[in-house]
Structure formats: structure tokens, C-alpha cells
Structure 1
Amino acid sequence: MDRTELGKMKVLSTVTVERTDDFYKVVDQLNRTLKDKGLTFGFALDQEDEQKITLTIYEV
């Protein structure tokens, strides 16, 4: 994704949950399933607690 696409993305929601090793599979499936609906999902380790993951939902 290039910078022009990032500029068009709007954050709809964020949530922080406990970290699991398979969380990326959930995000991957959400992206594959809802891409045509204009939604993109991303996740990152929480900056304050690496045992938590922050999920972000974007509207493209």
C-alpha cells in the first residue's frame, strides 16, 4: 500500500486485546473477507504492554 492509499484511510475503531500467536490469522481473514466492503484491518503490539495487541479497523 502506498502513501496515497494511506491518506484515504479513515480509522473507524481500535481495540486492545490479549496477545495470541494466531491473532494474525484473524486479521488476515477479516481483510480477505471484507476488502470489497471498503474495510481494512491492522494490528500492532501495544506500545505499553507487549502481551497485548491493538487492532485497528480502517475504512478505505
Structure 2
Amino acid sequence: MESKIEVLSTVKIQQSPDLYKIVDALNRTLKRENLMFGLALDKQDDKKAVFTIYRT
């Protein structure tokens, strides 16, 4: 079975220590809707984070 992940949206936001809590809550709440959320540090600016929404 092949799993395809589609990027729906990506946005750079100000880094905050609690951002992961929002991403975790979204992933737990919306996984039944085939949505997944990601958070990564921006490689060019360590004060920014990259928030991505995926459809699984």
C-alpha cells in the first residue's frame, strides 16, 4: 500500500517554546481527518519556525 503525503500549506512564524504544544494538539485532534502538522526550525533564521500542514 502506497502512502502519499501532500503539502497543503507552509508558513514561517516567530519561534516560541510552546509552539510544539499547538502542533501536538492539532495532530491528536485532526488525525482522523487525514491531516498532519509539522514544525521545524528555519535553516536560515533560528528565530523563525516553519509550520506545515499535510494531507495524508
TM-score range, shorter chain: over 0.9
How far apart, in 2, do the equivalents of 1:57 and 1:47 lie? 18
Equivalent residue for 1:22, pick from 18, 21, 32: 18
TM-score, normalised to structure 2, is 0.93
Q: What letter corresponds to residue 54 of structure 1 in structure 2?
A: V
Q: Cα offset for 1:42?
A: 0.5
Runs (4+) of structure 1 exceeding 6 A deviation are: none
- Pair 1:47 & 2:40 matched: no
TM-score, normalised to structure 1, is 0.87
User: Which structure has greater helix proportion?
Assistant: 1
Q: What letter corresponds to residue 36 of structure 1 in structure 2?
A: R
What is the percentage of aligned positions where both structures have the same residue?
Answer: 51
Q: What letter corresponds to residue 47 of structure 2 in structure 1?
A: Q
Task: State the Cα RMSD in Å.
Answer: 0.9
Unaligned runs of 5+ in 2: none
Unaligned runs of 5+ in 1: none
Please state whether the residue corresponding to 1:15 is helix, strand or coil: strand
Q: Cα offset for 1:53?
A: 0.3
Matched residue pairs, number?
Answer: 55
